[in-house]
Amino acid sequence: MLRRAWKPLLGTTVLVGTPAYIYYRDYRKPTSETFDLSVREAGPDGKRQMVTRTIPLLSKDEVDARIRQNATSKSATRHGGIVWKSTTAHFASNDPIEDANGNLLIERDASDLSPPGDYLFYAIMDGHSGYHTSRVLAKVLIPTVAMELATRVNDPKANLKDAGLLQKAKSLIWSASSTPYDANPSDVSRAIADAFTKLDAQIVNAPLEILYHAVDQETLKKKLIPDLSGHPLATSAIETARSGSCALLAMFDTSNRNLYVACTGDSRAVAGIYEETSDGQGVWRVEALTEDQTGRNPNELKRMQSEHPPSEAQNVIRNGRVLGSLEPTRAFGDARYKWPREVQEVLSKAFLEPKGDALRPPPQLFKTPPYVTATPVVTHRPLSFLPLPLQGTPAPKSALRFVVLATDGLWDELSNEEVVALVGGHLSGVRGTVPKSALPGLVRTSTGAAGVDGKDKAGRGRQPAEKQGAWAFEDDNLSAHLIRNALGGGDVEHLRKLASIPAPYSRRFRDDITVTVVWWEDGREGQAQTEQVAIPVPEQQARAKL
């Protein structure tokens, strides 16, 4: 892997949000249609209260333009004749959007002794408390993981300095093995996890490094705190550290036929596995590849409690949140949950207070940091269908056919089963407007690994998904297709209203949404095809939630 030149065929794509003013300039034309919306605002006395605002209603064409504005697609024919395809789209709620994403295809060196293949990387980032961390990750996360893997493939002993004594002994005993480093899923998973952890350490320690190099012995003796607000790296360093971001990365190793998914936070990856059935109709099995890492995940609650004194067992997670505040239990940045209290005070005085700003104080229950980690949970799945079966060899009865990566804005609105059915139906040729009650008969699904839903949808004011209404199959781009259906699908009235709400009001009704869908075609797509279906919506539309 990567022994000589890297060959980035698809390049790295970083998509960040379009500011609201562009939306208003390009799309909000004068219209007589409006609707009233109850929102919470600060009154004259500073107290928040509910008020009614009149919101201009976008037309269906304007909504279509917004959904498709940031939709991209890529296709590359690779080894074995397999065509790898991907789409990405995002829809903002925050202004500017706090989501970001990236992708990269790296071709294995031709001189490598391993079978021909590539490394395909896809990543999405869900920022919070600002966009700084997510945008940095969009640029550097994939290259950081690739470099960590390259280092270990070229020198498998390079990671021994971080390994325990037993691991070092095992590595030395079996160092003569001819098995390539990246053919061992446990080694690759560990390398990916270490890359995440090291990158976050760089992000969180960057302001400390600047401070360290700016302080001389005389300053130390006098215990003076320098003014670093004008340092050329001050703003980027402190903002990237104090804002935060979840990150979700998928790496397809087509040479060794492995898929790795690394999750830090509460974004989610779901796979659609097509299974042949005796009646010839086939079924899509729904496989969650990640678990939401929030305080509502029992596994995360147990981990958090084990990492802190017993006296904090009842407070380390409160109301499903870290110290009652942050929802994801794993994230990049979020230094207010990682820096000791004294360090936060010094950095605030050095970087922000000279400009009239300050770090937000740590939560009241803050005692034994760090409370948040960026170390991901890495899952592995074999890609059993790669490479193409030899001529005359029967194709596998069950094969993973697509993967959906999405920030929690999508999963707030759609279930795993709905997402797999919507993608599976699209790939199977379903088109038009389909009543929700009719889709299960057109696209059959079964439940595999369910994962853990760690989100509190009720606490966000969200209502359970209504089974009446309709899905819309009208976007060629699969990611835009999912976003449309998260916003209302075939219920055009609801779709228009939800998409029309501007920031900051929109945050109460929908989150930023970023979706990447990856799939591949190898000549057997006909097995999953159905006739193109267009079913009219029932005359009585579903009642809009707004």
DSSP codes, 339-401: S-HHHHHHHIIIIIGGGT--PPPPPTT--SS---B-PPEEEEEE-TT-SPPPTTSPPPSEEEE
pLDDT in tens, 6-32: 444 444 333 333 333 333 344 444 557
pLDDT of residue 457: 62
| Residue 6, in any domain of the structure | no
Total structural domains within the chain: 1
- pLDDT of residue 126 exceeding 90, the answer is yes
- pLDDT of residue 319 exceeding 90, the answer is yes
**Domain with 329 in it: what CATH number?**
3.60.40.10
C-alpha pair distances (Å), 326 with each of 37, 130, 316, 397, 451: 28, 14, 11, 43, 21
Q: In terms of pLDDT, which residue wins out, 251 or 216?
A: 251
pTM comes to 0.87
First-to-last alpha carbon distance for the chain, in angstroms, is 52
The residue range of the domain holding 369 is 20-40+51-528
Mean per-residue pLDDT over the chain, rounded: 86
pLDDT of residue 192: 98
**Residue 173: pLDDT band by 50, 70, 90 thresholds?**
very low
pLDDT of residue 180: 82
- pLDDT of residue 506 exceeding 80, the answer is yes
Best CA proximity match to 545, nearest among 501, 512, 504, 502:
501
Q: In terms of pLDDT, which residue wins out, 220 or 25?
A: 220
| Residue 7, in any domain of the structure | no
pLDDT in tens, 49-82: 999 999 999 999 999 999 999 999 999 999 888 8
| Residue 200, in any domain of the structure | yes
**Residue 248: pLDDT band by 50, 70, 90 thresholds?**
very high
| Residue 420, in any domain of the structure | yes
| Residue 456, in any domain of the structure | yes
Which of 9-13, 41-45, 221-225, 511-515 tops mean pLDDT?
511-515
CA–CA gap between residue 515 and residue 412 (Å, rounded): 13
Average pLDDT (426-437) is 96
| Residue 539, in any domain of the structure | no
| Residue 533, in any domain of the structure | no
pLDDT in tens, 327-351: 999 999 999 999 999 999 999 999 9
- pLDDT of residue 268 exceeding 60, the answer is yes
Average pLDDT (396-421) is 94
pLDDT of residue 521: 87
**Which residue carries 């109850």 as its tokens?**
38
| Residue 216, in any domain of the structure | yes
**Residue 115: pLDDT band by 50, 70, 90 thresholds?**
confident
pLDDT of residue 542: 33
**Residue 435: pLDDT band by 50, 70, 90 thresholds?**
very high
